[in-house]
Amino acid sequence: MTTPGYLDTLNAYKGVRSSLTGLLGLPISSVLVSGSSAGGYLALTTASLAGEKPDALLLIYGMLDSANSRYTTLGPNIFGQPAIETEPVLREFPKPRGKDETRERISAYAMPPVVARDRQYALVSALHIEGLFVDYLTSVDGLARAIADRRVETIPEEHRRLFPLSFDRLANQHASHTVAARIKWLDHPSQVQSESCAERLGAEASVEFPDDAEPGFDVRAGNVNVEGAKGDSVITVESLRSAIRFLQAAE
C-alpha cells in the first residue's frame, strides 16, 4: 500500500473520537470531517475506513471519485492553465515504489502565489494531463488506463480501500454536503460526477453548484467573519454561509 496520508487523517480522526473528551473535560456531541480538493478525498476515505463514522462530511470541490475519467484518461491542465511539458516533471517526481520507497514524501504546504512556477504544483498538473493519478496513488503501472478501459473491477483488492465510492464502503454514513463545480474550463461534467457521488453517499447527501465560488474559495477569502457586518463584501459569502449552516445543522 502507498499513500500513508490517508492513514494520517484516519489516525487524527480516531484521536479526536477517543481522546478529545478527556482533554477538554467536556462531552463531544458530534464529530464533523471536512476537506477541500484532495482534502475532500481524504475526508471521504477517512469516513469510509473509520469504524465509528463521522456525524457529517463537508466536501468542498472534492476529488470524490478517484476512478472518474478525469483522473484516469488524458485531459487538460487545471485552473484553465495552458498545457505543460509533462515528461520532465514526471521524471523529477517518478511514481512511488510501494514498500521499497525511500524518498522523502511530499508534504502539504501553502498554495504558492504563482502556481504556474511551482515545481510540486506542476506534478498535479502533469497527473491531470496524463491521467496518472491512480498509478501514483497505488504504485500500479497502467491501472488508470485499465480502469478507463475495463472499469473498476480491474482494481486489485488490496487497493480498493482507496476507491470508497466504487466499492460501497460508505455504509452507515451520516449527512454529507458536497460543494461541486460547474467549471467551464474543464472538458468533463464534474457536476454530473458529483451528483452521482451524492447518490452513492446516500439519501442524506446534498449537492450545491455555487455561482459565486470557484475552487479554493474556502481559503482565499482569508480570515473573515461572514456573519458580521462586513461579510457581504466577501464575494463568496453565500457559499461560505451555506457551508456554515450545514455544519451547524449537523451538530
Sign of CA dihedral 135, 139, 143, 148: negative
Task: Give the confidence band of 108 by pLDDT, cuts at 50, 70, 90.
Answer: low
Whether the pLDDT of residue 176 is over 80: the answer is no
Helix (H, G, I), strand (E, B) or coil at 80: helix
Whether the pLDDT of residue 70 is over 80: the answer is yes
Cα 7-9-11 angle, rounded to 5 deg = 65
Whether the pLDDT of residue 159 is over 70: the answer is yes
Percent of the chain clearing pLDDT 70 (strictly above): 75
Range of weakest confidence among 10-24, 120-134, 161-175: 161-175
Task: Give the confidence band of 146 by pLDDT, cuts at 50, 70, 90.
Answer: very high
Comparing 188 with 30, the larger pLDDT belongs to 30
pLDDT at 184: 30
Comparing 186 with 111, the larger pLDDT belongs to 111
Comparing 148 with 109, the larger pLDDT belongs to 148
In degrees rounded to 5, what are phi and psi of residue 224?
-130, 155
Whether the pLDDT of residue 17 is over 50: the answer is yes
Whether the pLDDT of residue 187 is over 50: the answer is no
Q: Where are the alpha helices (DSSP H) in 103-142?
A: 119-130, 133-138
Comparing 189 with 230, the larger pLDDT belongs to 230
Helix/strand/coil percentages in the chain, nearest 5? 50, 10, 45
pLDDT at 147: 96
In degrees rounded to 5, what are phi and psi of residue 247?
-65, -40
**Nearest CA among 32, 37, 33 for reference residue 61:** 37
pLDDT in tens, 190-225: 555 666 666 676 647 777 777 766 666 666 666 777
pLDDT at 135: 94
Range of weakest confidence among 18-27, 62-71, 206-215: 206-215
